[in-house]
Amino acid sequence: MSKLINKILFLLLCSICLLSWNGVSAQHSRVPYSQRSHPYIQYDSCYLEHCKENPNLTEFYKKLDKLYFTGKGQVKIMQIGGSHIQAGMWSFELRKRFESLSPSDEGFPGLVFPFSLAKTNHPFYYHSECEGEWEISKITDKVPVDSIGLSGITARTNDSLASIKIVFYPVAGINERSFDKVSVFHNIEDTSYLLSIMPLDVVDTSFINYETRSTEFYLKNSLDTLEIRFVKQDTSDNSMFFYGAYLENSSPGIEYSGIGINGAATSSYLKAELFETHLKAVKPDLVIFSIGVNDAAGKSFSKQTYISNYKIIANKILEINSDCAFIFTTNNDFYHYRGGVNLHYKDVYEAMISLSQFYDASVWNMFKVMGGYKSINYWRNDNLAKKDRIHFTKEGYVIVAGLLFDAILQDYENHLEKEASTK
């Protein structure tokens, strides 16, 4: 009975949020719905489209039930895309929206990579400090030199001593998301290098996980900064390959990993040879697919190739977790120097519908919600999109994340109503 009461209270909270969405003032910091403050945004079109039943999404919602109503369990979400996701603003804001309804503010950082080695931008909430000479391979390279994993980027060094340090900015709220387990993805078959987490005395135990091809470090105390030292043990020409690190803790909460590489298309992720291997460490409950702008930017865009590429990626994920739920987000409206105005929005949407039918998944029509054809100009005029009319400003990404969460929350409310009606 107490669980039913909790669900009813949650529905009442959502009703209050709906009132605030329509203009009634609300003072609660956890009001989740967006304010209707931009006339060109199609708020009434902001919902998840279900071409069929989405049983895996229902299972995802049940995991949210457990976390939200009992404070137990971990819910793992992964968003995969290109530069929209590498910037981190969209995915991090979505994380905060999911966390805002949780009785626990704790989660864990998820997948990180020292993007400074590639002289490119980090997700906005952390930076890296590195020592040693490193070479970089990315999934956006025409033919990557080295194997690549889930993060979409690989760093390689031959130096006898090298280090990587990930430092979180205050905005990351790392005090609530500190970690006591680190999985370092690397070439485990080569024993030329000794890996250490610093400081040395914080490590309780470590071992090689052959399934995920990582060294797992279990820590005595939680950390808010990651520092990995690589020391060569011999005089060989062997290299250290670093594919990223996955930061976890055992606390109940939301884990949200954003996987994004600037310029990445669906075909780019097909070059990630170790994608499934590293995904075994993450095993997401929900994947939000946001790949497509770079596919659709050129005039030679093929809907069938786009669908085929997506299926390869989706099938790899389902091989790791057959219960993983999918939400496909269409491209935003955009202009591109290669293809000009967004000509393929209809084909992209139709491809997403086809994929959702194939996988019993859901679609969020971002293109329509933001205002449709050439609506990026309205966003640019309001300083919500950048001058390139592809990317958003930080405020714009916050709005996009809020709108997507609105659609998910509305669908989650429907799930709660169904659950309550069966009690």
Estimate the crossing angle of helix 394-421 against helix 89-99, to 10 degrees: 40
21 phi and psi angles, rounded to 5 deg? -60, -30
The per-residue pLDDT for 338 is: 59
**C-alpha dist (Å) from residue 5 to 32, 38, 218, 412:** 20, 36, 39, 17
The per-residue pLDDT for 337 is: 62
CATH number of 39-104+252-412: 3.40.50.1110
The per-residue pLDDT for 24 is: 34
Q: Which of 349, 367, 362 is nearest to 412 (CA)?
A: 362
Q: Band of the pLDDT at 20, cuts 50, 70, 90?
A: very low
**C-alpha dist (Å) from residue 23 to 19, 34, 78:** 7, 10, 32
Domain ranges of the chain: 1-31, 39-104+252-412, 107-251
Residues paired with residue 311 on neighbouring β-strands, in sequence order: none
The per-residue pLDDT for 6 is: 52
Cβ-contact 285, 324 below 8 angstroms: yes
Q: Which of 259, 266, 265, 248 is nearest to 287 (CA)?
A: 259
The per-residue pLDDT for 13 is: 53
pLDDT > 70 in the chain, percent? 91
Give the pLDDT mean for 80-96. Answer: 95
Specify the amino acid at residue 357: Q
CA dist., res. 93 & res. 72, Å (int): 22
Specify the amino acid at residue 67: L
Give the pLDDT mean for 46-65. Answer: 94
Give the pLDDT mean for 31-56. Answer: 89
Weakest-pLDDT range from 21-30, 100-109, 120-129: 21-30
Q: Do 39-104+252-412 and 107-251 have matching folds?
A: no
Assess whether pLDDT exceeds 80 at residue 106: no
Cβ-contact 360, 54 below 8 angstroms: yes
Give the pLDDT mean for 276-290. Answer: 98
pLDDT one-digit tens code per residue, 295-334:
998 778 999 999 999 999 999 999 999 999 999 999 999 9
The per-residue pLDDT for 422 is: 77
pTM for the whole structure: 0.91
The per-residue pLDDT for 212 is: 98
Considering the domain delimited by 107-251, tell me its CATH architecture: Sandwich (2.60)
pLDDT one-digit tens code per residue, 257-268:
999 999 999 999
Q: Band of the pLDDT at 340, cuts 50, 70, 90?
A: low
Give the pLDDT mean for 146-173. Answer: 96
